[in-house]
């Protein structure tokens, strides 16, 4: 009763201001107790939902393209098998070098130098270089390189230089220097020491 009598003494403006203050306090309590935590949970849930949608789409893409990926893996395995066939093993290297020399001689080239150099080991294979110095016409040299490129083993010719043209028996003879490089797979025993050094 006293409270109502006290309240009746205030003007309408004061009563309105008091009511607005009480409303503001109730709204603030409502915001901090209910709305704000719920809003944070909504934001967290939206982020989680976005991640799940991305993961779902990624898994769906993998599932839809599984056949394509399996075909790609099979293709890579075929390419690896083909590469293995094109890289001679250690026992085949001397025979391959004899074939290279024989091809040159049949074409009419004269070998001034045919010197195997030390192998250069890589991660799982080794370069097998041979220093070449040959004499012959430009056509003979070009034919030699072409036939080397058609071997069923990988042989690259590097650092080619041609010089000292001379006329001999009615043709221009050039001295050609270069390095023929073939490759071979390293055995497990050969790779193991290198792997151990790499880990250290």
DSSP string, 57-84: HHHHHHHHTHHHHHHHHHHHHHHHHHHH
What token pair was written down for 44?
Answer: 């967290």
What token pair was written down for 150?
Answer: 């058609």
As a whole number of angstroms, the distance between CA 145 and CA 95 comes to 18
**Domain range list for the chain:** 1-64, 89-191
DSSP, res 153 = S
What token pair was written down for 131?
Answer: 């220093």
**Mind listing the pLDDT tens digit for each residue in 126-140?**
888 989 898 989 999
| Beta pairing, strands 110-116 & 120-121 | unpaired
**Mind listing the pLDDT tens digit for each residue in 51-90?**
888 888 887 777 777 777 778 778 877 776 666 555 555 5
Q: Give me the half-sphere count of Cα atoms (radius 13 Å) on the Cβ side of residue 142.
A: 4
Question: Which long-range CB contacts under 8 A does 192-199 form with residues at least 24 apart?
Answer: 194/121, 194/123
Fold of 89-191: Alpha-Beta Plaits (3.30.70)
Cβ(139)–Cβ(153) below 8 Å:
no
DSSP, res 53 = H
As a whole number of angstroms, the distance between CA 130 and CA 127 comes to 10
**Mind listing the pLDDT tens digit for each residue in 21-60?**
777 777 766 666 666 666 677 777 777 878 888 888 887 7
Q: Flag whether pLDDT at 193 surpasses 60.
A: no
């Amino acid at each position: 009763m006293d409270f109502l009598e006290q309240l009746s003494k205030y003007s309408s403006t004061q009563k309105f201001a008091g009511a607005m203050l009480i409303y503001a306090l109730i709204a603030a309590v409502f915001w901090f107790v209910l709305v704000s935590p719920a809003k944070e949970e909504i934001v967290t849930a939206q982020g989680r939902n976005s991640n799940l949608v991305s993961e779902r789409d990624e898994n769906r893409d993998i599932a839809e393209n599984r056949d394509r990926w399996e075909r790609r893996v099979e293709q890579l395995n075929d390419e690896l098998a083909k590469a293995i066939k094109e890289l001679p093993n250690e026992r085949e290297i001397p025979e391959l070098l004899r074939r290279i020399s024989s091809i040159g001689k049949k074409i009419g080239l004269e070998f001034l130098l045919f010197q195997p150099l030390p192998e250069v080991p890589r991660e799982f294979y080794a370069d097998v270089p041979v220093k070449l110095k040959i004499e012959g016409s430009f056509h003979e040299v070009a034919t030699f390189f072409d036939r080397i490129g058609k071997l069923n083993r990988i042989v690259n010719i590097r650092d080619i230089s041609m010089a000292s043209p001379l006329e001999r028996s009615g043709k221009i003879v050039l001295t050609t220097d270069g390095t023929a490089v073939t490759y071979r797979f390293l055995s497990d025993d050969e790779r193991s020491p290198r792997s151990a050094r790499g880990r250290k």
